[in-house]
Structure 1
Amino acid sequence: MAMRYRHLAATAKETVGVYRSDIHGRGLFCKRIIEAGEMIMEYAGTKIRSILTDKQEKYYEGKGLGCYMFRIDRDEVIDATLSGNAARFINHSCDPNCYCKIVPIDNIKKIIIFALRRIYPGEELTYDYNFAKEDIKLPCNCSSKKCRKFLN
């Protein structure tokens, strides 16, 4: 796994690109055939403590910035808003072609994006955000046949 991970940085620019998305804003798109099970890229950013996420989110809202955070576990979150990579642009879908997995690389937890199935050039990469259910519903724009209509 560690060897596959080290290969990611060298191949990411030839594998994916950020372009305008019909789902939301910008999205991450496939530039070459990606095989099922292939490790695509890391969701990178600054590791912060979970208790700081609400404060960071309010700060970003005040600055008019989008917020890109991904929970590693109960205690840690990757904040990709200011220092993340292109993985932060992967949009949600109720019928995704990718999935995320927390993988220990050299004893450090990394969020890795994998292909669920073969993905073809021009396809937008998506994964299910799996947001917790809340009273205030966030509408889903994925337009898939399996759409649940809400992200949460």
Structure 2
Amino acid sequence: MYELCANQGFLDGTSDAPHEVFATNRYGWGVRATACLLPQAFVLEYVGEVVGRREFERRFAVVTQARGHYYFMALQRDLIIDAQFFGNNARFINHSCQPNCVAEVWQKNGIQRVAIVAVKAIEPLEEITFNYRWSPSFQEFTCLSASPKCRHAGLGC
């Protein structure tokens, strides 16, 4: 049964799905597949420094005042992953209102971690995306998707 589990690569520490970071025309950096990825495939783990709500708010204020890029992901209501200085390629995954992946909280050795998982087949050179509003505990971002199905009207679409 374990062999059929979609999170096998995540659980046993094997490599991430084949991907590369690339310069996009609109968003800065992005991540795209370099091979076909199947639905339910583990793509990447979103890693970074885990900070509390108070420290997150301090860092968020500093970054937004400087108008810089930020790489925050809610793990729980009061625990936020900050991938600014300690992270991996997952921090470059862009938002889409029509994403091909989702972020899910998984357990590994009793510790909560965030896995990026494909929700549909992803072709080689297709950008990997997920909806940044997957978690109700972190709502602030500017949507640049320009998607006709954008659910964040007035937030940059």
Give the TM-score of the pair, scaled to structure 1: 0.83
Give the whole-Å Cα distance in 2 for the aligned partners of 1:138 and 1:65. 12
Quote the Cα distance in structure 1 between the aligned partners of 2:52 and 2:141: 24
Q: Which runs of 4+ in 1 moved over 3 A?
A: 6-9, 59-65, 148-152
Q: Confirm or deny: 8 A CA contact 2:94 2:130 kept in the other structure.
A: yes
Tell me how far apart the structure 2 counterparts of residues 104 and 71 of structure 1 sit (CA, whole Å).
Answer: 15
Which of residues 4, 19, 25 in structure 1 aligns to 2:9?
4
1:120 matched residue in structure 2: 123
Residue 140 of structure 1, CA deviation: 2.6
Task: Measure how far apart 1:66 and its partner are.
Answer: 1.7
Q: Distance in 2 between matches of 1:41 and 1:35?
A: 14
| Aligned ranges 1:27-46 → 2 under 5 Å | 27-46=30-49
Query: SS of 1:72's equivalent?
Result: strand
Partner in structure 1 of residue 22 of structure 2: 19
8 Å Cα contact 2:24/2:30 also seen in 1:
yes
* 2:128 paired with 1:107: no
Q: Which amino acid aligns with 2:9?
A: R
Measure, in 2, the Cα distance between the counterparts of 1:150 and 1:97: 23
C-alpha displacement at 1:151, in angstroms? 5.0
- The Cα of 1:56 is off from its aligned counterpart by 1.1
Structure 2 contact 9–15 (Cα < 8 Å) conserved = no
1:91 equivalent in alignment to 2:94: yes
Q: Which amino acid aligns with 1:4?
A: G
Segment drifting more, 52-61 vs 91-100: 52-61
Q: CA deviation at 1:9?
A: 5.0
- Change beyond 3 A, Cα 1:44–1:138: closer
Root-mean-square deviation over aligned CA pairs: 2.5
Q: Unmatched 5+ residue regions in structure 2?
A: none
How much identity, in percent, do the aligned residues show?
28
For structure 1, list consecutive stretches of 5 or more residues without a partner in the other structure.
Answer: none
Matched letter for residue 25 of structure 2: D
Q: How far apart in 2 are the matches of 1:8 and 1:151?
A: 37
TM-score scaled by length of structure 2: 0.81
